[in-house]
């Protein structure tokens, strides 16, 4: 018998994000409310002050991520939440967090865009913005849950990855997942794996703030604990000071990319449904994966060998897994609530080993299982 106390609650995706954040140790939130993410700010405002955390409603989204970066430097695990318009505003400081290697989590509850777009309707239009929204060569981690339970577990993962790899992590929700309510089994705090950033073991006078350890990640001293150092958005040397030395520049850029690329096995999470004997594979994420799961059942009832690869990690993209799948199946269909963003990565990763087609919907409604089945039947007839 499991003696740990677990509560089962009917929670909204956004509420599960709050629970997950707090369980993983987040104690600082700065944000500017925006549909469909506002309940995250509301929940944080309610809960953080009760547990010694801080909630700040900022004047805008730029300031919000700036405050989150600052709080993280001071040692607080920090998170902000927004939607498309706010995510666009955060891109510059997202780059700052990447180059200065500050752990933090940015939740983007995707709604229809561009611009103000469709405030209350779902979309997956920010898949590529999550990857390339900020400029310059960089790696990023982005996770996309498709159940409310996964919102909780992936929020914890996101915070843990940010601490482990000293990098901002993006949690990509969509309006359906953000607002949907489902039963969630809330883990007891003692069963949650919590990863904390590695701190320096040397005294302040011997500390090089950007000198990587054997894993390519520099131990991070919190400001205010006696370690005085410089943080800049300029490319910097191991002391944290700007550098124009080509060797230092090259090794720095490669290191902040490699620390993620070389750990894809740890970071990439996916689930397989009925793929063992599949001839046709669906690749989907977020709320669309829920539709695709049903499509697989409907297709199997018709005797069609269809399976699903559900992606929980979007970035870094699970290229190796998709490539293996492409060698097994004849056709991959990528249903998504955009005009075809993830399908580009699937095509790249498939390397021509099978046919790859896109199924798009951009009218603000969730793709339904019947239309994906229709697409499968249409492709079979060709």
Partner 1 sequence: MKERIEICLSGAGGQGLILAGIILAEAAGIYDGKEAVQTQSYGPEARGGASRSEVVISNDSIDYPKVIKSDILLALTQTACDKYVKKLSKDGILVVDSSMVKEIPSVPAKIYQFPITKIAQEKLGTKLVTNIISLGIITGLTKVVSMEALKKAVYNRVPSKAKEVNEKALLLGFDIAKDMKLKEES
Smallest gap from Cβ 13 to partner 1, in A, equals: 10
Q: Which is nearer to partner 1, 57 or 120 (CB)?
A: 120
Q: How many residues does the chain have?
A: 382
Between residue 290 and residue 329, which ones bind partner 1 under the rule CB under 8 A?
A: 290-291, 293-294, 297
**Site residue total, partner 1 (CB under 8 A):** 23
- The mark string for 60-99 relative to partner 1 (x by CB under 8 A, - otherwise) is ----------------------------------------
Smallest gap from Cβ 291 to partner 1, in A, equals: 5
The backbone torsions φ and ψ at residue 192, rounded to the nearest 5 degrees and listed phi first, read -90, 125
Smallest gap from Cβ 35 to partner 1, in A, equals: 8
- Residue 130: name the closest of 156, 148, 105 by CA: 105
Q: Which residues does 144 contact at the CB level (< 8 Å), separation at least 6?
A: 154, 171, 172, 173, 285, 286, 311, 312, 313, 314
Candidate segments 2-10, 86-94, 125-133, 258-266, binder of partner 1 by CB under 8 A: 2-10
Smallest gap from Cβ 369 to partner 1, in A, equals: 5
Smallest gap from Cβ 57 to partner 1, in A, equals: 20
Sign of the four-CA dihedral 145, 118, 80, 94: positive
Task: Determine contact, residues 89/62, Cβ cutoff 8 Å.
Answer: yes
Smallest gap from Cβ 364 to partner 1, in A, equals: 9
Q: Is 119 in the site for partner 1 (CB under 8 A)?
A: yes
- Residue 176: name the closest of 330, 75, 36 by CA: 36
- Identify the residue among 1, 2, 3, 8 touching partner 1 (CB under 8 A): 8
Q: Report the alpha-carbon distance of residue 75 to residue 77 in Å, rounded.
A: 7
Smallest gap from Cβ 9 to partner 1, in A, equals: 7
Q: Which residues does 256 contact at the CB level (< 8 Å), separation at least 6?
A: 98, 99, 101, 138, 139, 167
The H or E element containing residue 363 is none
Q: Is 10 in the site for partner 1 (CB under 8 A)?
A: yes
- The mark string for 28-47 relative to partner 1 (x by CB under 8 A, - otherwise) is -------x------------
DSSP string, 253-311: HHHHHHHHHTTHHHH--EEEES-TT-SEEEEE-HHHHHHHHHHHHHHHHTT--EEEEEE
Between residue 166 and residue 205, which ones bind partner 1 under the rule CB under 8 A?
A: 176, 179-183
Q: Which is nearer to partner 1, 19 or 179 (CB)?
A: 179
- Identify the residue among 57, 120, 215, 245 touching partner 1 (CB under 8 A): 120
Q: Report the alpha-carbon distance of residue 145 to residue 287 in Å, rounded.
A: 8
Instruction: Give the 3-state secondary structure of 139-150.
Output: CCEEECCCCHHH
Q: Report the alpha-carbon distance of residue 198 to residue 360 in Å, rounded.
A: 43
- Identify the residue among 56, 272, 368, 379 touching partner 1 (CB under 8 A): 368
Name the token pair of 116: 């103000």
- Identify the residue among 31, 105, 369, 376 touching partner 1 (CB under 8 A): 369
Contact footprint for partner 1 (CB under 8 A): 8-10, 35, 119-121, 176, 179-183, 287, 290-291, 293-294, 297, 366, 368-370
């Amino acid at each position: 018998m499991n003696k740990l106390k677990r509560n089962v609650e009917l929670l909204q995706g956004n509420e599960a994000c709050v629970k997950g954040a707090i369980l993983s140790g987040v104690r600082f939130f700065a944000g500017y409310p925006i549909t469909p993410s506002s309940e995250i700010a509301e929940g944080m405002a309610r809960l953080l002050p009760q547990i010694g955390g801080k909630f700040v409603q900022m004047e805008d989204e730029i300031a919000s991520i700036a405050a989150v970066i600052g709080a993280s430097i001071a040692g607080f695990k920090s998170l902000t939440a927004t939607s498309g318009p706010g995510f666009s505003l955060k891109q510059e400081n997202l780059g700052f967090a990447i180059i200065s290697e500050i752990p933090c989590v940015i939740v983007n509850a995707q709604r229809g865009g561009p611009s103000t777009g469709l405030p209350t309707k779902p979309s997956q239009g920010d898949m590529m913005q999550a990857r390339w929204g900020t400029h310059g060569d960089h790696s990023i981690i982005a996770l996309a849950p498709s159940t409310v339970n996964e919102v909780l577990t992936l929020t914890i993962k996101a915070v843990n990855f940010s601490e482990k790899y000293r990098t901002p992590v993006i949690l990509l929700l969509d309006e359906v997942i953000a607002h949907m309510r489902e039963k969630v089994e809330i883990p007891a705090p003692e069963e949650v794996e919590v990863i904390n950033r590695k701190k320096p073991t040397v005294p302040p006078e011997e500390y090089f703030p950007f000198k990587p350890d054997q894993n390519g990640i520099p131990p991070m001293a919190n400001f205010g604990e006696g370690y005085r150092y410089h943080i800049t958005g300029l490319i910097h040397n191991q002391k944290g000071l700007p550098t124009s030395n080509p060797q230092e520049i090259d090794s720095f850029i490669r290191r902040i990319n490699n620390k993620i690329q070389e750990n894809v096995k740890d970071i990439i999470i996916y689930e397989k449904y009925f793929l063992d004997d599949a001839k046709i594979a669906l690749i989907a994420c977020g709320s669309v994966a829920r539709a695709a799961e049903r499509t697989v059942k409907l297709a199997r009832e018709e005797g069609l060998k269809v399976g699903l690869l559900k992606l929980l990690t979007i970035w870094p993209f699970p290229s190796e897994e998709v490539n293996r799948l492409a060698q097994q199946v004849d056709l991959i269909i990528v249903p998504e609530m955009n005009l075809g963003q993830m399908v580009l990565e699937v095509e790249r990763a498939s390397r021509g080993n099978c046919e790859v087609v896109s199924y798009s919907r951009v009218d603000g409604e969730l793709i339904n299982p019947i239309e994906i089945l229709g697409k499968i039947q249409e492709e079979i007839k060709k």
